[in-house]
Amino acid sequence: MNIVVIFGSPRKKNSFILTEAFERELKKLGDFNFEYFFLNEINLKTCIGCHQCLFRGEENCPLKDDREMLTEKMLTSQGIVFVSPVYVSQVTSLMKNFIDRMAFLCHRPQLYYQHAMVISTTGVMDLKKVLKYLTEVAFMWGIRSATTLGIVTPPDKKKEEIENDKKIEKAARKFYKKLTSQKWSPSINQLIQFRVIKVFLASKVTKDISPKDYQHYTKLKDQSYHIPVKMNFFKHLIGWGMELMVKLFIKIKY
């Protein structure tokens, strides 16, 4: 299996040591190929907020760099590892820019077949906050599951202690189980998100404002989810009920 690592730290210190330790643990469980992409070494220009990727399509982004390559690497992988230490209660600027440049995935998710591993380190605080943020982003992009691994690494802590932490082994086993599981269906939150967004973006109101979204979701108008997937009756009922409620609330005529 191919695992893509999106590394958001500007230096190879604690987060890098932790990621390598996780890689070693995962490789004990199966045959995995890790490919690292260090965002400080990648040609990824700063997002200018023009909204072209959102409304007209990512192919119309005026910034020509490695964004398309990174997207393709993620799409052809089975697992994606997002790595960012905590910088002032948030992800690094490198990781945030990467997320901003992939904003079109929030409107039109594509990572339906991938599983995510979210890794972060902090000296003192806000570890859970960063892990939660990256997990939420991953789910917005269509990710099937997200496993987290966070380690507190005070400046005086020895590097060896990071590698020996039992959390690494536990996270690796959990991620491995997700990767190799044959059963999957979207969570209720993922299902509701799809149904609500579909109603808005496949409406006539969106046709002129965001033609790319309108075109995309019009094709999915009669689908239960982004991709064909088996779901139990309870989930189908919730999905259709939510969709009907939104249609009635905003009075959109299909």
Rounded mean pLDDT, 139-145: 96
For the chain, the average pLDDT equals 92
pLDDT above 70: residue 116? yes
Domains in the chain, CATH or no CATH each:
2-180 (3.40.50.360), 188-250 (no CATH)
CB 137 within 8 A of CB 245: no
pLDDT tens digit sequence for 124-137: 899 999 999 999 99
Least confident range from 21-25, 78-82, 182-186: namely 182-186
pLDDT above 70: residue 251? no
Name residue 28's amino acid: K
Q: What is the pLDDT of residue 254?
A: 47
Q: What is the pLDDT of residue 194?
A: 92
Confidence band for 40, pLDDT divided at 50, 70 and 90: very high
Name residue 102's amino acid: M
pLDDT tens digit sequence for 47-81: 999 999 999 999 999 999 999 999 999 999 999 99
pLDDT above 80: residue 157? no
Rounded mean pLDDT, 79-86: 98
The fraction of the chain above a pLDDT of 70, given in percent, is: 94
Rounded mean pLDDT, 184-212: 89
Confidence band for 206, pLDDT divided at 50, 70 and 90: confident
Secondary structure in 3-state letters for the chain:
CEEEEEECCCCCCHHHHHHHHHHHHHHCCCCCEEEEEECCCCCCCCCCCCCHHHHCCHHHCCCCCCHHHHHHHHHCCCEEEEECCCECCECCHHHHHHHHHCCHHHHCCCCCCCEEEEEEEECCCCHHHHHHHHHHHHHHCCCCEEEEEEEECCCCCCHHHHHCCHHHHHHHHHHHHHHHCCCCCCCHHHHHHHHHHHHHHCCHHHHHHCHHHHHHHHHCCCCCCCCCCCCCHHHHHHHHHHHHHHHHHHCCCC
